[in-house]
Amino acid sequence: MVRGPRPFRIGPGDVQRIEVTMGGRSFVVERVADGWRLDGTPPSAAGHDAITTLADELARLRAVDAFRATSFEEFGLDPPRGTIVVTTPRGVQHLALGTLNAGGSTVYARRAGHARVLHLGVYFLEVVRRVPETRVPDAENVRAYWPEIG
What CATH number is attached to the domain comprising 78? 3.30.1490
Residues spanned by the domain of 120: 14-145
80 in any annotated domain: yes
Q: Considering the entire predicted model, what is its pTM?
A: 0.87
**d(Cα 29, Cα 15) in Å, to the nearest integer?**
10
Is-contact 37 47, C-beta < 8 A? no
Which residue type, as a one-letter code, is found at position 32? V
3 in any annotated domain: no
Give mean pLDDT, residues 96-116.
93
Q: Where are the alpha helices (DSSP H) in 61-133?
A: 123-133
Q: How many domains does the chain have?
A: 1
86 in any annotated domain: yes
pLDDT in tens, 25-68: 899 999 999 899 999 999 999 999 999 999 999 999 999 999 99
